[in-house]
Amino acid sequence: MEGLQTTVLIVAAVYLIGMLIIGYVTSSRIKTVDDFATAGRAAGGGLPVVAIAASLLATNNDTGNVLGIPEMTYGGGFGGLFWIVTVCLIVYLLMFVLGPRLRDSAASTLPDYVYRRYGNSTRVRVSVTLWSIVSAAIFLGTQLYAVAAVIQALFGIPWQYSLVPVAAVVIIYTAAGGLWAVAMTDILQWAVIIIGTALVIPLLFILKGPFSSVVLANQPAVGYASFSPGMPVLQLIGLSLGASLWVLADPALTQRFLSAQSNRAAKQGIWLWISAIYPWWILMAVIGMYARVVLPDITPAQSLVLMAGHVFPPVIAAIVFVAVLGAAQSTADSYLNVVSSMFVNDVYRPLHPGAREGHYITVARWATVVTGVLGVLVAPLFSQGIFVVALTLQMIFISAVVPVVVLGLLSPKVTEPAAFWASVAGGVVSVIWLSVGGTAGIGGVQAIYPAVGIALLIMLLFSWGKSGQAQKMEVGK
């Protein structure tokens, strides 16, 4: 690993400069806040299919995820992962309904969507803005820390040294080019990640032999390659829902649908994303299983990196490493962009209406810088177990925002008071439940169950029998 360090540092420097160039090139496209937040969708622009697919990949997969799949299969084989991703797929399929509906709402941000959906309701907008900004800002901090922590784990460079340069590059290109810069860097990063990791399998076939004769014929444990989940069904469903439900109303992911060139582009983007992510997850799982047989005594989290180092010449391996490290960057930039977009659209503009577009763009850019610096300042707090922080946030967010957004998109019968009180109650109950029982829950019951349950119950009670006065969505206003 040490011999590779210099090569990796050089590749990383070239890579960071490339990101800055993309920021510079895309900054010329930012003339309005709409360009900044939705890639100019209202003015006939918007994200093309490739950018939607790539930025769904980028936002949904961080470095922890990329390294985590081979880590999981290295230890436990294929079964658990198979069932988790199968349950996730059922949730993801809902996006084919939600994505195009979001696009048709003509809203600029997720809080703007709920504002329009619930009859120009300021209190629902404020509630969703608060939960979204807090969770996205903290998530940003976890991602920035994650890049630095992985660099430390793999190459021994203390995280304090890499945090600031990595974050500075993300902040500069995101402030300069807004969603355009975020989407373009997502395409570049994810093209490199998927090409690099997908090349590992055919190379392993050539160097070590096919999967069936290397792994299936030499299974390190009984049932290693079986479809047995290896955990109780309830735990499996809880894990899967925790991993997938937030995706439906995540502010950064929904921003892709709001910014799609067209309703059709949104649908095609989801198709491409699913048709890429499932085969790719399988390949990543298989890399972990090869690693277990070929390198039986390594730290499981290093499976991908060591297998890439095993099959590639140093320069190519370095490019794959750097791209994998960039996975966290490509998640961080999405949250950075969406926090500043929500701030200017849903906080600053309603309070200071009527200013010139140039003024709002300046505010959006400064909001990006301030949010990014705050992210860097809070990042060290996550050195105590980043996974727990991310999981806690996801649970609060799922409880406070997901029911309001998803049911609002699915049914015209949900009323404004239902949405507001469900959002408040879901958020409060999840925070209380988490502060008493942590992410493991109280008596094994995780926070999302009571919190989402109460949110759904409130929505049902408040909307019951009010279908006559259901608020129609105000499209295009």
Partner 1 sequence: MNLIDLFLLASSLWIIAMGVWMLWALTRILKCRG
Q: Does residue 199 interact with partner 1 by CB under 8 A?
A: yes
Tell me how far, at minimum, the Cβ of 361 lies from partner 1, in Å. 18
Nearer to partner 1, 147 or 187 (CB): 187
Nearer to partner 1, 146 or 182 (CB): 182
Q: How far apart are CA 197 and CA 373, in angstroms?
A: 32
Among 216, 381, 440, 457, binds partner 1 (CB under 8 A): 216
206 Cβ partners below 8 Å, 6+ apart? none
Tell me how far, at minimum, the Cβ of 95 lies from partner 1, in Å. 19
Could you tell me which stretch among 124-132, 162-170, 211-219, 230-238 binds partner 1 (CB under 8 A)?
A: 211-219
Kindly state the tokens that stand for 164: 């600031």
Q: How far apart are CA 151 and CA 157, in angstroms?
A: 6
C-beta neighbour count of 321 within 10 angstroms? 26
Say if residue 401 is exposed, middle or buried (CB neighbours under 10 Å; 0-12, 13-18, 19+).
buried
Total residues binding partner 1 (CB under 8 A)? 35
Tell me how far, at minimum, the Cβ of 78 lies from partner 1, in Å. 11
Cα distances (Å, whole numbers) of residue 301 to 137, 268, 297, 424: 26, 33, 12, 38
Nearer to partner 1, 143 or 261 (CB): 261
**CA geometry: angle at 33 spanning 337 and 255, to 5°?**
45
Q: Does residue 316 interact with partner 1 by CB under 8 A?
A: no
Among 12, 286, 339, 452, binds partner 1 (CB under 8 A): 286
Tell me how far, at minimum, the Cβ of 190 lies from partner 1, in Å. 7
Asked if 42 contacts 34 with a C-beta cutoff of 8 angstroms, the reply is yes
> What interhelical angle do 233-249 and 448-463 show, nearest 10?
60
Among 91, 94, 153, 272, binds partner 1 (CB under 8 A): 272
Nearer to partner 1, 202 or 232 (CB): 202
Q: Does residue 22 interact with partner 1 by CB under 8 A?
A: yes
Q: Does residue 223 interact with partner 1 by CB under 8 A?
A: no
Q: Does residue 294 interact with partner 1 by CB under 8 A?
A: no
Interacting positions 75-134 with partner 1 (CB under 8 A):
none
Tell me how far, at minimum, the Cβ of 337 lies from partner 1, in Å. 17
Among 4, 12, 23, 26, binds partner 1 (CB under 8 A): 26
Tell me how far, at minimum, the Cβ of 276 lies from partner 1, in Å. 5
Asked if 39 contacts 183 with a C-beta cutoff of 8 angstroms, the reply is yes
Burial code of 243-282, b = ≥16 C-beta within 10 A, e = fewer? Answer: bbbbbbbbbbbbbbbbbbbeeebbbbbbebbbebbeebbb
Nearer to partner 1, 8 or 200 (CB): 200
Q: Does residue 444 interact with partner 1 by CB under 8 A?
A: no
Could you tell me which stretch among 138-146, 276-284, 328-336, 395-403 binds partner 1 (CB under 8 A)?
A: 276-284
Nearer to partner 1, 121 or 268 (CB): 268
Q: Does residue 29 interact with partner 1 by CB under 8 A?
A: yes
Among 89, 192, 316, 369, binds partner 1 (CB under 8 A): 192
Q: Does residue 283 interact with partner 1 by CB under 8 A?
A: yes
Q: Does residue 184 interact with partner 1 by CB under 8 A?
A: yes
Asked if 376 contacts 144 with a C-beta cutoff of 8 angstroms, the reply is yes
Kindly state the tokens that stand for 33: 């806040």
Q: Does residue 211 interact with partner 1 by CB under 8 A?
A: yes
Among 30, 58, 194, 419, binds partner 1 (CB under 8 A): 194
Tell me how far, at minimum, the Cβ of 66 lies from partner 1, in Å. 14
Q: How far apart are CA 156 and CA 232, in angstroms?
A: 38
Tell me how far, at minimum, the Cβ of 80 lies from partner 1, in Å. 19
Interacting positions 36-65 with partner 1 (CB under 8 A):
48, 50-51, 53-54
Nearer to partner 1, 201 or 293 (CB): 201
300 Cβ partners below 8 Å, 6+ apart? 70, 71, 72, 74, 75, 288, 291
Q: Does residue 25 interact with partner 1 by CB under 8 A?
A: yes
**CA geometry: angle at 150 spanning 77 and 159, to 5°?**
155
Tell me how far, at minimum, the Cβ of 15 lies from partner 1, in Å. 14
CA within 13 Å, CB half, 119: 13
Q: How far apart are CA 377 and CA 16, in angstroms?
A: 21
Q: Which chain residues interact with partner 1 by CB under 8 A?
A: 22, 25-26, 28-29, 48, 50-51, 53-54, 184, 187-188, 190-192, 194-195, 197-199, 201-202, 205, 210-212, 216, 272, 276, 279-280, 282-283, 286
